[in-house]
Structure 1
């Protein structure tokens, strides 16, 4: 089915990384938001040639002073008029503090601001940032309307290792109650056996698939203790910018503050679960498009990862990375909702807090 764009648009301020080549950070977020009808103001936290996964990259990182100067001049010129704020990767503790301090001032001036904070800290057990960044993000969590961490980032922010249903519930409760976050979206969590067994039957993937073939996406709203989830199949290989695209689509599809209601629709959807369903559906369809395009590339551009060979011949890895950049331009009809795709609707997880 076609997944339509939001009925309302407005202005979004995007604060995240920038690359000249490829689609990560702002390059993965700004164009999709424009396709949804938003005006997007952009502040780059880094200016790199390409993402770091290529091995070779160069450029500059914005300092706290540079970022603060941009925010100050925009304010003096009365150019800070966003209805929504999206923040992603910020390099270093001082720059992160500058961004979160600015978000606090913007929130105080505009209480109904829709702020999606993507706490880009790391993945798969490894931090991308210095440990000093973590408490800065923790202090900023109460400013957010929505946060979109992956499972590892949830563990880092809460200090809770997620290994079973009890720890998952405790982590979610900590984000809602200790840090006062209204809406939490765990963008991806491996479908390990404990999670598969915890999921209600209607949320589990087909029984003939292995756990490693699927990830789960979980969305929780503090008001009403409403939790929704969906499993989705993994695609082989490494993709960059996926979380940046997903977060942009979530904030892009989330309804304006004046039209928000946590009442559950007849189909079981809430404003949050509907926005996340659209984001999940479009992101996965974009990955399928990217994967299919990568398979059609010459063999030398799709060689499997081999750390020893990649280190000896850097272009081997670079060609592979280049061939797996998100096909955002080719898939713009997916983003706009004019190309039919499978709608991966998040379903209610009614016994989440009691299972």
Structure 2
């Protein structure tokens, strides 16, 4: 559980129905003992996976007015900052300025920046947010990009181990991010073959995703862009079985749980663990448990609410897709004990990837 004095400022999307963005993050943070102040970057009826949504985006002027009033009233006092989906560059710049202010006021603030830009090779934000995110990276304590977002931030296509090495170096050294968690990488053959036996999955690699946690030495150990203590980051990784079907809000839940469990000043009990890998282990285990419960609930629904994806049939009858989406919203309320850690029978421990860097 968090200390009573811990307070999170969460800046991300809001939907009326379902669990993505803040709706997937705030409740878990509160369950784990955090006070949460919430700023909505959009106010939509539902997530875009339904095919149609209504609502509005919060403008940069509106965000600035909220931040300035909170500051004036001495209400801007987070110990942790969480930012997620912000669709445009002007609004993102307003959030960047806010992040600078709160970091200046509280240098030890833990800032988890989730650079929500796209997935599976496709951007779903305006392209002009990319350079703003790059400017924001040095402010972050932890970032949680997926593989496509890593490629977007670093301009490196992840297709072999050298490219993965180079992308992590750019994020750690050029952008000075201490902790990088690549939340989900498809386990292609080049990646599976590089995994040590302690991490390699027992079955077909394509049935798994890989989560990688990379911790670099503290920023005060840098000189001229290089570390004084070790040449590379410490890498932990773990494979997670793919669960069939489409889910939304998974990354938002994972990032919130990671922030909740990250305690940089505590020494983990597990051998070879770091504060980051210990937090990722908890976030990964709880997120997967909630997904398993969500899948079980979806499979128990009436047949018309669990019909398989079919673009042509979905176009002819939009309610077909809507019913399917509705049945696959994250089971956060029914799974709240899992979020607290009750009933988690297996912790997916992040394993040290010894030899990740080789001779590089």
Question: What is the Cα deviation at residue 142 of structure 1?
Answer: 0.1
Moved more, 221-230 or 110-119: 221-230
For 1:212-291, what aligned pairs fall within 5 Å after superposition? 212-223=206-217, 225-255=233-263, 259-260=265-266, 267-291=271-295
What's the secondary structure of 2:296's corresponding residue? helix
Partner in structure 2 of residue 88 of structure 1: 84
The answer to whether structure 1 residue 341 and structure 2 residue 345 are counterparts is: yes
**Partner of residue 173 from structure 1, selected from 164, 169, 173:** 169
Greater RCO (CA < 8 Å, at least 6 residues apart) = 1
Classify 1:265/1:332 alpha carbon distance in 2 versus 1 (closer, same or farther; 3 Å).
Answer: closer
What is the alpha-carbon distance in structure 1 between the residues aligned to residue 51 and residue 158 of structure 2?
A: 31
Classify 1:241/1:49 alpha carbon distance in 2 versus 1 (closer, same or farther; 3 Å).
Answer: same
For 1:307-346, what aligned pairs fall within 5 Å after superposition? 307-346=311-350
What is the alpha-carbon distance in structure 2 between the residues aligned to residue 347 and residue 267 of structure 1?
A: 10
Aligned 8 A contact 2:3 2:34 in 1: no
Question: What is the Cα deviation at residue 338 of structure 1?
Answer: 2.0
Moved more, 28-37 or 8-17: 8-17
Stretches of structure 1 that go unaligned for 5 or more consecutive residues are: none
Q: CA RMSD in A?
A: 1.3
What is the alpha-carbon distance in structure 1 between the residues aligned to residue 42 and residue 313 of structure 2?
A: 29
Partner in structure 1 of residue 146 of structure 2: 150
Aligned 8 A contact 2:103 2:109 in 1: yes
Question: What is the Cα deviation at residue 267 of structure 1?
Answer: 2.0
Partner in structure 1 of residue 299 of structure 2: 295
What is the alpha-carbon distance in structure 1 between the residues aligned to residue 287 and residue 320 of structure 2?
A: 27
Deviations 1:28-87 (A, max 9, x none): 000000000000000000000000110111001000000000000000000011100000
Question: What's the TM-score once normalised by structure 2's chain length?
Answer: 0.94
Question: What's the TM-score once normalised by structure 1's chain length?
Answer: 0.95
Aligned 8 A contact 1:9 1:37 in 2: no
Stretches of structure 2 that go unaligned for 5 or more consecutive residues are: 218-229
Partner in structure 2 of residue 205 of structure 1: 201
